[in-house]
């Protein structure tokens, strides 16, 4: 950390709101530790999560500009809060700072655009009648049970909860309180930050083997042993493999 930044450090605690959409912006923020998420007005789902080394509050670079995002702390954070006037003086004296800020802001906006495009690519809403038909087909698909001699489990790291797999097609995700839809493995309680999609990924049992795949429309990624999966592509699961849904680690045991 630059010595000149230390005097601007402010500590924020988890669940604290740093500022909201529409607030007048006069400060620029650099995350030293912790994580924050950015949300649009009226939308509870974050459009991006940023952490150490990332910047936000760039609206302050324009005089009289109001905030276009609400910023919430999701992990206790030490954040460098620099008044616009002080930042301007730093930039004048140290051009590499300006280049670093520009680079990081570009990276953040690429993340935002990428997430926005993925959201836009989600299937269009269907009628209630059509939705019921889809649900009926999906329920039929997931109703086939595993052979009784096949034992497989998921150990969810955050809660240490153990879930036995009982179906040939098992969906992992977060419940939808609006529609009442609940996935086979409901991770709502473990996913306090609401990063995991309603139907995030699927574990299927085919020809004596288990496979993991990411469901269409998933935003924050599915990882197998640290490697991000492409949507819809099945990857074989083996005993003690680590599955990560966005940020939630799960161990597969078979």
Same domain, 150 and 110: no
**125 assigned to some structural domain:** no
Q: Is the pLDDT of residue 192 over 90?
A: no
Cβ contacts of 116 within 8 Å, gap of 6 or more: 47
Q: How far apart are CA 35 and CA 76, in angstroms?
A: 7
Higher pLDDT: 243 or 88? It is 243
Query: For the segment 111-165, what is each residue's pLDDT rounded down to a tens digit?
Result: 666 665 555 555 555 555 555 544 544 544 445 899 999 999 999 999 999 999 9
Phi, psi for residue 86 in degrees, rounded to 5: -65, -40
Same domain, 151 and 243: yes
Q: How far apart are CA 235 and CA 251, in angstroms?
A: 15
Same domain, 211 and 164: yes
State the average pLDDT over residues 82-104: 76
- 8 A C-beta contact, residue 33 and residue 102: no
Higher pLDDT: 195 or 1? It is 195
What is the chain's Cα-based Rg?
Answer: 22
* DSSP states along the chain: --GGGGGGEEEE-TT-EEE-TTPBP-EEEEEEEEEEEEE-TT--S-SEEE-TT-EE-GGGGSTTPBPSSEEEEEEEEEEEEEEHHHHHHHHHH-HHHHHHHHHHHHHHHHHHHHHHHHHHTSPPP--HHHHHHHHHHHHHHHTPBPPTT---EEEETTTTEEEE--BSEEEEE--BTTTTB--SEE-TTT-TT--S-TT-EEEEEETTEEEEEEPTT--S-EEETTEEPPBT--EEE-TT-EEEETTEEEEEE-
Same domain, 43 and 85: yes
Q: For the whole prediction, is pTM greater than 0.85?
A: no
CATH number at residue 245: 2.60.200.20
Measured CA to CA in angstroms, residue 151 lies from 142, 155, 162, 163 at distances of: 17, 13, 13, 11
Q: How many CB atoms lie within 10 A of CB 236?
A: 11
- Give the pairing of strands 235-237 and 201-206: unpaired
Q: Which residue, 59, 5, 61, 56, is CA-closest to 34?
A: 56
Same domain, 72 and 173: no
CATH number at residue 95: 2.60.120.10
Q: How confident is the model at residue 236 (pLDDT cuts 50, 70, 90)?
A: very high
% of residues, the chain, pLDDT over 70: 80
Q: Is the pLDDT of residue 188 over 90?
A: yes
Lowest mean pLDDT among 103-107, 149-153, 196-200, 232-236: 103-107
Instruction: Give the pLDDT of residue 55.
Output: 84
Same domain, 71 and 157: no
Lowest mean pLDDT among 29-43, 46-60, 131-145: 131-145
Total structural domains within the chain: 2
Same domain, 146 and 87: no
Q: Is the pLDDT of residue 190 over 90?
A: yes
Instruction: Give the pLDDT of residue 137.
Output: 46
Q: How confident is the model at residue 92 (pLDDT cuts 50, 70, 90)?
A: confident
Residue corresponding to tokens 């005089």: 63
Q: Is the pLDDT of residue 30 over 50?
A: yes
Same domain, 58 and 98: yes
Containing domain of residue 30, as a range?
3-119
């Amino acid at each position: 950390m630059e010595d000149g930044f230390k005097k601007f450090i402010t500590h924020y605690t988890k669940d604290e709101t740093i500022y909201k959409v529409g607030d007048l912006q006069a400060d620029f923020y650099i995350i030293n530790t912790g994580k924050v998420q950015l949300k649009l007005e009226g939308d509870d789902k974050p459009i991006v999560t940023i952490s150490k080394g990332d910047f936000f509050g760039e609206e302050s670079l324009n005089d009289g500009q109001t905030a276009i995002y609400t910023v919430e702390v999701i992990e206790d954070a030490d954040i460098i809060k620099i008044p616009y006037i002080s930042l301007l003086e730093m930039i004048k004296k140290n051009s590499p700072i300006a280049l670093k800020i520009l680079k990081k802001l570009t990276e953040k906006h690429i993340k935002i655009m990428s997430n926005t495009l993925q959201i836009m690519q989600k299937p269009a809403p269907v009628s209630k009648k059509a939705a019921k038909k889809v649900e009926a087909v999906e329920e039929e698909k997931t109703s086939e049970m595993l052979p009784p001699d096949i034992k497989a489990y998921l150990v969810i790291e955050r809660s240490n909860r153990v879930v036995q797999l009982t179906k040939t097609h098992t969906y992992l995700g977060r419940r939808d309180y609006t529609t009442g839809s609940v996935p086979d493995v409901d991770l709502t309680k473990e996913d306090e930050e609401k990063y995991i999609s309603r139907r995030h990924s699927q574990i299927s049992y085919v020809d004596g083997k288990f496979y993991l795949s990411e469901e269409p429309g998933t935003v924050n990624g599915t990882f197998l042993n640290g490697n991000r999966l492409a949507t819809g592509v099945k990857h074989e699961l083996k005993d003690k493999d680590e599955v990560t849904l966005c940020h939630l680690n799960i161990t597969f045991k078979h």
